[in-house]
Structure 1
């Protein structure tokens, strides 16, 4: 594999196919995959992260130009260890066959039915750059817990992290268990064309369409974790200080480069200015300075920074009011850093690119409303979001938003936090993705639910009249069964 990667940093489809086939052969030879084996692989994954946390944080920071090591530890590493602990606590229970009822009177005659959760085989994981460790190994733990083998494709935008993880996985695992490959777009294309037993992709919707089309050629089941524009709705009775503090935390984390980041705010018309002021003051409290602040993360590269600036310029040109939240009054034009201050945009309209594209950075549009029903109509008129956030106290308003909008997941009175709960499924719907993982839902996602029916010795078909030649018994059974 090294020789094939050396030329252009890409891995050929033939080489990926060899790695896949080696894992598939080892998987079949091992069946059934014991609880002890699954827990051992999960434990090694967690221990790998714990043993090398400093090196992993440094690699991610180097790839970003700067990223808070504390944040990487919290959002990437801690989550993986937590996911491993959740499996250690619950996996034995999840693996048990589920008893199911048989149709009357088969159970009385000795028949039985159950669902057995069986591993699928080899799972391919295409990880993104924004949380490169978490979004590689969190799905991997789910796949390993279900009894599968795993091959992970790291993003070319985090090369140092990818190379380090490639080395670490090789140290902790046999290649037939789990391995990492790196490479660029050609590798990614080849990776999605492999006949995986399951493929999970985390990234943008435009690339997801190509991944899904390639997977369709092999009828590969896919989990797509995408993104989109996650609305943050501030209700008429929300506590503005608490609300804006939590929004500031969620939006500034990873410099807004989160698929679940608050993408835009929907705020009561009479509280818009107070909310903008609240955002500004809370950002200033959390990040008094930005450029040299170790807690504040850089935009991933110059190209992405230019894209974000173009969104701002387009909105301002079309009439938006911009407020640059720069608490330390720093000169961002006189630095080689790709860090950006938060830009709040008011008077936004749907003809602006910032209201059409997923932002994925420190830009926050604010749109006002008069009645909550307007908010519901607006959200429902746009693509289903990955996350939706509501701030407010009245239970009737919370229930209205929950019942009348559709999204991948919801956090009430905060943002993003539903993804941190291991017993809740994480996934999108429609343009924001399909399928879900983490916890028990992830175990099921990466397992095949196999129906097993055991027929008793007694001749059921003859008793029921289903054994030819058909006669009176047949008609009697049909008459009974065709009642509703």
Structure 2
């Protein structure tokens, strides 16, 4: 179904509209919550996660078919808990008005400042790969900024959506927070509501449809998209260490992470060692893929897409390295071990679209200029990873490429740090969240000017011949 036309053809679900109306009215009655109210909302959100952690883990596992419990606890439960408590501590500083300087014509008694004010009702559209984290992390920023929120979960996260919809009403009224499941094709109409801000995480294609819907209401958007994020291993860097760190990221959530390494640029003389180390590492960490320590591909459609991508590469001359040497995956579990794909070319699907799974294509390169040009000839990625101990080379890649975030000698971690803003550029998105940047995303930074009892502008009143012109000419001379 076409995303744009479906939004037009489908009618607005009553629960969407009624909750939206209720949140709008509640916002108008209480437009600027106090610091204590915002901190209370954040603490309540933290308590909701803690008190329902086991049920959340179970729901996510059901949605995946097999979601590694440790990964859910680490990447979703713990990170959400920590982010909420971090915001509780920092929001006091974020909400403070900031004094701004005046130009010379406004002396002596005028004042100018900015203060952040909640924008109103936020619409959050959540992907399936980290369904709790991608709902809670932007919500923390929205609550810190004093807003209300409606959250639409993914169709692949139905068990979690129903759980959050059920339990959240025990912690927040619907005019403050509401969760909704997807299904019956109603997802696209969610972003046609006249939200005060829409926060979307997903593919660039769907992001364009969301932006088109938002444009009809002049609703600002934050788009956290994907793309093909490269990792570059430099000649000076250990192939063994690079394999340890790149493979950790590629194995996490079976590679289903928007900031994961989508392709690897490797010096040719390091290829054999990297492959050897990757094979040892995978089997050391995952001796039995059925043990529960490895996450499944989310659904059959995604599994088939990955197999099609691999088959296309093989048909066009690629060499596939199967790393896993343990017992075969159980039938129907969609457990796909990480595979390295060598000899890739640009006409292969694996080098044309985001992989979002446990396949790692590797290209060899000769010079830093070659690597840089290859990256810059493609749409801007959500992340860039540089593996080098050479500070000058690190700076070269930082200054001669552009991406969302950057990891130096590490992959993925930068996306989970609370105090670093997260966001893409160009095809990989727009806007930021996390910490103060997320707080500002969901705030209107209102500029205020207050005139004093005596105003400097009185020196510049007509008739201009005489003192007004002399003073202005003198001031211009000082600035020339």
Question: TM > 0.5 between the two?
Answer: yes
2:419 paired residue among 420, 423, 427? 423
DSSP-derived class of the 1:426 partner: coil
Shift of 1:324: 1.3
SS of aligned partner of 2:298: coil
- Do the aligned residues in 1 keep the contact of 2:31 with 2:120 (CA within 8 Å)? no
Q: How far apart are residue 458 of structure 1 and its match? A: 1.6
Alpha-carbon shift at residue 415 of structure 1 (Å): 0.3
- Deviation per CA, 1:107-158, whole angstroms, max 9, x where unpaired? 4x11111110111001110000000000001100110000000110011111
Counterparts of 1:243-392 in structure 2, within 5 Å, are 243-290=242-289, 292-328=290-326, 330-332=327-329, 335-392=331-388
Partner of residue 479 from structure 1, selected from 446, 457, 473: 473
2:227 corresponds to? 228
* Gapped regions of structure 1 (runs ≥ 5): 1-9
In structure 2, the residue matched to 1:48 is 48
SS where residue 21 of structure 1 aligns? helix
Distance 1:382 1:148 in 2: 37
Residue aligning to 2:31: 31
Correspondence for 2:18: 18
Q: Corresponding residue for 2:150? A: 151
Q: Distance in 2 between matches of 1:363 and 1:350?
A: 16
**In the alignment, does 2:406 pair up with 1:410?**
yes
Identify the residue that residue 131 of structure 1 maps to in structure 2: 130
Give 1:106 shift: 2.4
Deviation at 1:178, TM superposition (A): 0.5
Query: Deviation of residue 461 (structure 1)?
Result: 2.9
Contact in 1 for aligned 2:384/2:407 (Cα 8 Å): yes
Task: Please name the residue that 1:237 is paired with.
Answer: 236
Per-residue CA distance 1:147-190 (angstroms, 9 max, x = gap): 00011001111110110011111111101111101123732211
Cα distance between partner residues in 1 of 2:14 and 2:50:
34
Check the 8 A contact 1:11/1:183 in 2, yes or no. Answer: no
Displacement, 1:14? 4.8
The offset of 1:97, in angstroms, is: 0.4
* Superposed CA offset, 1:318-344 (max 9, x none): 11111112220x334x61111111121
Give the distance between the partners of 1:437 and 1:463, measured in 2 at CA: 45
Partner of 1:86: 86
**TM-score normalised to structure 1 length:** 0.94
Measured in 2, the distance between the counterparts of 1:48 and 1:366 equals: 43
Q: Deviations over 1:284-329 (max 9, x none)?
A: 1111121x1211000001110000001000111111111112220x
Q: How many Å separate the matches in 2 of 1:59 and 1:379?
A: 39
- SS for the counterpart of 1:275 is helix
Deviation of the 1:36 alpha carbon: 0.8
8 Å Cα contact 2:226-2:428 kept in structure 1: yes
Paired residue secondary structure (2:104): coil
Q: Is the 8 A contact 2:110 2:455 kept in 1?
A: no
The equivalent residue for 2:71 is: 71
Aligned to 1:95: 95
Instruction: Give the secondary structure class of the aligned counterpart of 1:475.
Output: helix
Matches within 5 A, 1:153-192: 153-184=152-183, 186-192=185-191
Distance 1:480 1:199, change over 3 A: farther
**Counterpart among 447, 450, 471 of residue 451 in structure 1:** 447
Partner of 2:364, secondary structure, is strand
What does residue range 110-129 of structure 1 map to in structure 2 within 5 Å? 110-129=109-128
1:424-462 per-position Cα deviation (integer Å, ceiling 9, x unaligned): 000100000100100111111111110011111124332
TM-score for both structures, normalised by structure 2: 0.95
SS at match of 2:156: coil
Please say if residues 251 and 261 of structure 1, whose CA atoms lie closer than 8 Å, have aligned partners that are also in contact.
yes
Structure 1 CA distance, aligned partners of 2:181 and 2:442? 23
State the alpha-carbon separation in 2 of the partners of residues 112 and 186 from structure 1: 52
Distance 1:201 1:255 in 2: 23
- Give the match's secondary structure for 1:124: strand
In the alignment, structure 1 residue 57 sits paired with structure 2 residue 57: yes
Partner Cα distance (2:148, 2:463) in 1: 50
Contact persistence 2:105–2:457 (CA under 8 A): no
SS of 2:344's equivalent in the other structure is coil
In the alignment, is the contact (CA less than 8 A) between 1:391 and 1:412 conserved in 2?
A: yes
